Structure 1
Amino acid sequence: MKTALITGCSSGYGLEIARHFHAQGWTVIATMRKPREDVLPRSDRLRVLPLDVTAPASIADAVEAAGPIDVLVNNAGIGVVGAFEATPMAHVRKVFETNTFGVMAMTQAVIPQMRERRSGVIVNVTSSVTLAPMPLAAAYTASKQAIEGFTGSLAHELAEFGVRTKLVEPGYAPTTRFAANTDIPVMDLIPETYADYAGPIFAAFANPPMTTKESDVAEAVWMAANDTTARLRYPAGADAVALASNA
């Protein structure tokens, strides 16, 4: 029986990914900053562990408690929407600490065991903004673009040891509360000089022509985790697939 450790499972993509892997018969280690067992099915194949991907000690504890990991899904992330000039650099760094350095730290923590077994998959969840950068999300886009390059390079580096790295690129999913997953209110990052520009963009966010379902992302992660080919990228959702085809 294979084991998947998934980060950011309290809601959104991570929660649906954990449910999907569990439904397929895998052992699931669902991690969250503040563990909530009520959101997941009770099962001897499912464990909820505390994990803060920005804290080295928390990472070490979670990886040790999880035991042998066949698949790591780096899903935890935070969003920020607003004009870049109004975004405090402290918050930009916070976004990178979770979305970029947190992914790198988790990856570094599991590589030794996967390399020694000459088996394992690391799936990094980025975003369709890496396919078509959107306005008012410069810091977020940069944090996700960094993981695209990181994962592509690592794919070459780890192939020698039988370890695969994959990218899942979700489209826009209103249900993931992207703009709410931040400690700075969106409107605080929209100066008056940007108001006329931002209005139509927010209106488009509220009524997009295509969206991504959480199940789309779970299925894409499942496909990536089980694909033994050298394929690197897996767009998830109709909007992301459309962007990828035009890239």
Structure 2
Amino acid sequence: MTHTVLITGCSSGYGLETAGHFHAKGWNVIATMRSPRADLLPTGERMRVLPLDVTRADSIAAVLAQAGRIDVLVNNAGIGLFGAFEATPMATVREVFETNTFGPMAMAQAVLPQMCARRAGTIVNVTSSATLAPMPLVAVYTASKTAIEGFTASLAFELEAFNVRVKLVQPGYAPSTRFTSNGSERMQGLIPEAYAPYAHSVFASFAQIGAVTTEADVAQAVWQATTGAGAQLRFPAGEDAVALAQAPR
């Protein structure tokens, strides 16, 4: 039997690469995005592109009704935020949590009934290496991803009795993705004048980073988390993320 994976946030970056990776491995792929674009992905009966907004219950219900059996859920959809917490409106904080935290939780809750009934299935939650080491000016983003780390670790214990696995993939710094451009409007005004010199120094430090994470690194880590045996919970993705995960604390 060919397995089916549903991946959120497939319009670019990690999700797009992961959808192509699973398809190349012979899986049925349900690639979801807010505004579907079938031209981004391979065509054929094993690839379906469906609309999904993980912040809306009706959108989640609609995609689950069309999806049928789901063997693996990859919660990849997320939004970025870079700015001083002092200047970040609480409405923006809630917006980030709606997508990065409550979205994966809602998706997991939606697929669990079928997985628990079959006593089989895997959920992979994609977080960030920001959870591995403190980074400045991303406090809200880090909080939204750290919440999913705790959620995943607890849920993994909870679902052991149902033979449902829950895993984490932690991508490192990936300058080739659209993290900044996707959130540019959301980030307007989040660097007050008093923070500008510090923000410039932080941006400059990013430019000095040698080893970075690629989309392919993340796709491979999701594949390993999905298909690998054993009790490993966390899968750092990218050379920089692996180094952070291995660093003494």
**TM-score w.r.t. length of structure 1:** 0.98
Q: How far did residue 43 of structure 1 move?
A: 1.1
Contact map agreement 1:80 1:181 (CA 8 A) in 2: no
Aligned residues: 247
Q: Cα RMSD between the aligned structures?
A: 1.0
Q: Over residues 80-134 of structure 1, what are the superposed CA-to-partner deviations in whole Å (9 max), with x where a residue is unaligned?
A: 0000001111011000000000000000000000000000000000000000121
Q: Residue type matched to 1:220 in 2?
A: A
Q: CA deviation at 1:185?
A: 5.5
Partner of 1:214: 215
Tell me whether 1:30 sits opposite 2:31 in the alignment. yes
Q: Which stretch of the first structure deviates more once superposed, 59-68 or 236-245?
A: 59-68
Distance 1:187 1:57, change over 3 A: closer
Distance in 2 between residues matched to 1:176 and 1:165, nearest whole Å: 25
- Counterpart amino acid of residue 71 in structure 2: D
Structure 2 unpaired stretches of 5+: none
Counterpart of 1:36, as a letter, is: R
- Decide whether the 8 Å contact of 1:216 with 1:237 is kept in 2: yes
**C-alpha distance in 2, partners of 1:229/1:69?**
21
Other-structure match for 2:109: 108
Which residue pairs with 2:233 in the alignment?
232
User: d(CA) in 1 for partners of 2:83 and 2:210?
Assistant: 22
> Aligned residue for 1:133?
134
Q: What's 1:21 paired with? A: 22
| Alignment match, 2:199 | 198
Deviation at 1:184, TM superposition (A): 3.0
- Once the two structures are overlaid, the 10-residue window that deviates more, 187-196 or 232-241, is 187-196
Structure 1 CA distance, aligned partners of 2:79 and 2:207? 19
In the alignment, which residue of structure 2 is the partner of 1:155?
A: 156
Partner of 1:71 in structure 2? Answer: 72
C-alpha displacement of 1:228? 2.9
Where 1:180 maps in the other structure, the secondary structure is helix
Contact 2:20 2:41 in 1 (8 A): yes
Aligned 8 A contact 2:12 2:178 in 1 = no
Deviations 1:9-33 (A, max 9, x none): 0000000000000000000000000
